Amino acid sequence: MPELMYREALNQALAEEMERDANVFLIGEEVGRYNGAFKVSQGLLDRFGSARIIDAPISELGFAGMSVGAAMVGLRPVVEMMTWNFAILAMDQIVNNAAKLRHMSGGQLRCPIVFRGPGGAGGRLSSQHSQALEANYAHFPGLKVIAPATPADAKGLLKSAIRDENPVIMFEGERLYALKGEVPEGEHVVPIGKADVKREGTDVTIITWSRMYYFCMEAAEQLAKEGISAEVLDLRTLRPLDEEAILASVRKTNRVVIVEEGWALAGVGASVVDIIQSKAFDDLDAPVERVTGLDVNMSYAANLENATQPDAPKIIAAVKKVLYREGA
């Protein structure tokens, strides 16, 4: 399979879906002439024209609301937020309109729309540009939330999101855009709502998504050298959660560590713990451990930024705790 950067896989998905369906368009700040803040829309303006690749003013609430209206009348907008930190300004349109239109209209209206953009720490961008906000959107009925880690999953999930009849929120790890990975050629669609076991294991399950996946794989490789077999389950979709995959892995390994970039309080990982303790409590041989971002605002200094986030050593320590091998 060819190797593509994460941003190239997203670009390929956008181009293929725009070729497939003339109702699909992309809108956002600098998506046209500048080719996107992270170059995801490279070349799309030349290929599809300014009627379908639309440069928006710096008004997230405005172009989000306009796009919701376009979805209501039959178009399929893909709304690029320069960062999910800025999308906080558009939450009213996302959660009070896009998420609720089908319900409040008794099914008469639909809203096939994708809101996508980078989330999480971007590297010395300080507090206002470094937040992992997946839990905010996963909280609301009416939205689907995806957070792919690999280029292949990014392409496949974006294609599924564009084809979905419901509003989909897509988080792209800000530090993942230049990362390379194999991407299948031809039609490649990843179903929303399906987790993926990225590494088989027998001693402990590590559950994660988005950029934290790479720290989990690093930790699993180091643990293997110590004779500990870790299974890595990439959720990929945060709403709806793949309960079947979560429970199957828990019943296989009997120990669980959940890793997320965001804060612990009201995090997605807390909901995963609730599923496990309510439906697989008797399968556990140890309490579930969580590795999360520290409960502080992100610092600008690189050393403090790194100290704030999960990493392989923190994950390894949590794994050894659930295995009762602390200090080993």
Marked catalytic residue, from 16, 60, 172, 261: 60
Per-residue CA distances from 191 to 79, 147, 151 (Å): 20, 13, 15
Helices 243-253 and 268-279: crossing angle in degrees, nearest 10, is: 60
Same domain, 16 and 76: yes
Mean pLDDT computed over 39-64: 97
CATH code, domain carrying 149: 3.40.50.970
Q: Is residue 60 annotated as a catalytic residue, yes or no?
A: yes
Question: Is the model more confident about 7 or about 130?
Answer: 7
**To 5 degrees, how large is the angle CA 21–CA 25–CA 30?**
150
Segments in the chain forming alpha helices (H): 6-20, 44-48, 60-72, 91, 101-104, 134-138, 151-163, 212-224, 243-253, 268-279, 302-308, 312-322
With a cut of 90, say whether residue 147 has pLDDT above it. Answer: yes
Single out the residue in 151, 182, 213 at which a domain terminates: 182
**To 5 degrees, how large is the angle CA 130–CA 98–CA 208?**
40
CATH code, domain carrying 216: 3.40.50.920
Same domain, 231 and 295: yes
Same domain, 31 and 176: yes
* Terminal alpha carbon distance of the chain: 40
SS3 content of the chain, % helix, strand, coil (to 5): 40, 20, 40
Lowest mean pLDDT of 140-149, 248-257, 299-308, name the range.
299-308
What is the per-residue pLDDT across 94-128, written as a single tens digit (0 to 9) for each? 999 999 999 999 999 999 999 999 999 988 888 88
Q: Cα separation of 72 and 101, whole Å? A: 9
Same domain, 175 and 207: no
Marked catalytic residue, from 80, 129, 231, 261: 129
Single out the residue in 154, 182, 210 at which a domain terminates: 182
DSSP states of 135-194 as a string?
A: HHHHTSTT-EEE---SHHHHHHHHHHHHH-SS-EEEEEETT-TT-EEE--SS-----TT-
Q: Cα separation of 53 and 32, whole Å? A: 6
Taking alpha carbons only, the member of 82, 27, 20 closest to residue 51 is 27
Query: Is residue 235, in this structure, part of any structural domain at all?
Result: yes
Single out the residue in 182, 204, 224 at which a domain terminates: 182
With a cut of 80, say whether residue 327 has pLDDT above it. Answer: no
Q: What pLDDT shows up at residue 269?
A: 98
Same domain, 25 and 157: yes
Q: Which residue has the tokens 């796009």?
A: 67
With a cut of 80, say whether residue 174 has pLDDT above it. Answer: yes
Exposure string (b/e) for 250-270, b if CB count within 10 Å is 16 or more? beebbbbbbbbbbbeeebbbe
With a cut of 80, say whether residue 236 has pLDDT above it. Answer: yes
Same domain, 108 and 61: yes
β-strand pairing of 53-55 with 76-80 = unpaired
Same domain, 237 and 166: no
Query: Is residue 190, in this structure, part of any structural domain at all?
Result: no
Q: Quick one: DSSP state of residue 92?
A: I
Same domain, 317 and 282: yes
Query: 236, 268 in Cβ contact below 8 A?
Result: no
Q: Is residue 305 annotated as a catalytic residue, yes or no?
A: no
Q: What pLDDT shows up at residue 328?
A: 64
Q: Which residue has the tokens 């110590």?
A: 226
State the average pLDDT for the chain.
96
Same domain, 154 and 237: no
Domain residues for the domain of 56 are 3-182
Same domain, 264 and 161: no
